[in-house]
Chain A
Amino acid sequence: MTHALELVHNADRVDDINKFDRTDDLTPATVDTQRLLEIDKVSLQYRTAKNIVQATQQVSFDVYGADRFVLLGPSGCGKSTLLKAIAGFVQPVSGEIRLDSALVDRPGPDRVVVFQEFDQLAPWKTVRQNVTFPLLVSGRIKRREADEIALDVLAKVGLAKFAEAYPHTLSGGMKQRVAIARALAMRPKILLMDEPFAALDALTRQRMQEELLALWEEVRFTLLFVTHSIEEALVVGNRILLLSPHPGRVRAELNSHQFGLRHRGSAEFQMAAQRIHRLLFEPGA
């Protein structure tokens, strides 16, 4: 809990470091808040051993720059498949996904995914190497520069001390922080998070939400966040897309920018949560 506060307090110190020679630091000078991602009547299917499952049907929505856009719905609403489609791992059967007006048809480093599973970190690389790996693979920068960026983002998520540790020595929350740091280091156009905190215990999850919001305040990335927790959606997101299950269709799109962690438990927060609950579970409402 003290951690997010530290991040904010240390912000000027981090800026001092950045002044030296880095034009490539993480904080964009201006955040483009134009329309960034277009999901246009996208239908998705996946194949199981026996049959073809319709994951989403004609789903459309737009994400704007610096959004913290949340996909919320019960299991079976196709939110994770939708995220995989945006990441380029799954091809839509109909409809189009466009990022910065370019058609998405394959995975790419402009859309970095943070997964729920802890095994997304390569066990054969240290924390620092895990962060620098995608930077080096893309061939954009040199090793020294990549190391600098890695140490910078690791400091931002509070793991500077663990740069040389191997992933198996870290706790679940720390592994997720490394994954987030790695994603941020890539400076993707959009950060895709697939229930990143679902496998964490409740206290760690709350702290990670807090830290994510603090990071967003500092770096202003565009975030697409998948969750099945109404409370998490309200806290993390500024806009929420509600999906109904079997097949996934858009039920509503709501604002939630007014809620933060400290509003948890307030009357408005409860009302918003109840409204979402009603929208999701009472089809006629």
Chain B
Amino acid sequence: MSDSSAYPPLRAEYERTLPPPGDALSPGLSRSLRFWQIGALRKALILAMLALIWEVSARLTGNDLLLPTFLETAHTFVGAILDGSLLSKACISLALLLRGYLCGIAAAFVLTALAVSNQLGRDFLDTLTAMFNPLPAIALLPLALLWFGLGNGSMVFVLTHAVLWPLALNTYTGFLGVPDTLRMTGRNYGLRGLRYLLHILIPAALPSILTGLRIGWASAWRTLIAAELVFGASSGDGGLGWYIFQNRNELLTDRVFAGLAMVILIGLLVENFVFVALERVTVRRWGMQR
């Protein structure tokens, strides 16, 4: 039956007048699925699982000196929070950290601003980042102690160093990735210099700047705790690292764990409340990041 003159049947044309569209409501998610959509809940579940594993393995070990149980540590932690000893240590650490962090941000801003404005600034940033980024900030502490003496000065110096290089590197990489079209629109409106940087480059590079801020924050935190652990209270009254160090010396292992938990908790809080919130009101809202 298949010959080349076979055509599909001729069918009648038709037209339809469409009624105005009604409200097309999409069916909602099921309750369990909606429950699962809450990110905090999923993360809490993971934390609970980890706590359970800890509790079980501590009970199996049965040695308080090596590994106190989760519940015991939680008890010590709450106690230390309530009597204020842990919180005051945390405050000392955080205050110092924030100073170093802000100094690092300011220095990174100046360096990257120089780097986008001329070739020499670019070379300067390239060379310095290549030299200092791989150098652990803590390695500068002995020198800093020599220069600035025991006290906050040397810690701020080391923390600045810990924040500056990763932030400068990420920020500058972000600047390089800004699309040409966006650059040209900025210049089209007569933007130059600092205003060009503030209005075009920084917002457009914000995803990588935020990454730099995160890495810088983590790096500063690590440096601070390590400095206090290795060199003791280098800044008068010690912070969290000192708290951990001292309690280990007295073999109060549950307090060591409480101190560590505080470090972790602060990290989690800053990540989830500061950085995620910052992302939500900026790069996610603008559709620059999923």
Give Cα A89 to B184, complex, Å: 8
B195 to chain A: which residues have CB within 8 Å? 137
- The contact of A138 among B190, B204, B206, by CB within 8 Å, is B190
Known: A137-B191, A137-B195. A122 touches B184 (CB 8 A): no
- The contact of A87 among B188, B204, B206, by CB within 8 Å, is B188
Known: A124-B206, A124-B282, A124-B286. A119 touches B187 (CB 8 A): no
Interface set, chain A 78-137, CB cutoff 8 A to B? 87, 89, 107-109, 111-113, 115, 117, 119-120, 122-124, 133-134, 137
Of all chain B residues, which has the CB nearest A110? B190
Tell me if A169 and B189 are in contact (CB < 8 A): no
Within the complex, what minimum Cβ distance (angstroms) separates B129 from chain A? 25
B206 to chain A: which residues have CB within 8 Å? 124
Q: Is A216 an interface residue (CB 8 A)?
A: no
- Count of interface residues, chain A, beta-carbon cutoff 8 Å: 24
Give Cα A182 to B287, complex, Å: 20
Q: Is B85 an interface residue (CB 8 A)?
A: no
Q: How many A-B residue pairs lie within 8 Å, measured between CB atoms?
A: 67
Interface residues as binary, B67-104 with A (CB distance below 8 Å gives 1, 0 otherwise): 00000000000000000000000000000000000000
Give Cα A133 to B200, complex, Å: 11
Within the complex, what minimum Cβ distance (angstroms) separates B196 from chain A? 10
B182 to chain A: which residues have CB within 8 Å? 119-120, 122
Tell me if A133 and B204 are in contact (CB < 8 A): no
19 A–B contacts from the bound complex (CB under 8 Å):
A107-B188, A108-B190, A119-B181, A120-B182, A120-B184, A120-B185, A122-B182, A122-B200, A123-B204, A123-B287, A123-B288, A133-B199, A137-B190, A137-B195, A137-B199, A138-B190, A166-B287, A169-B287, A186-B189
3 closest pairs, A vs B, by CB?
Answer: A168-B287, A134-B189, A123-B286
Interface on A for B, CB 8 Å cutoff? Answer: 87, 89, 107-109, 111-113, 115, 117, 119-120, 122-124, 133-134, 137-138, 166-169, 186
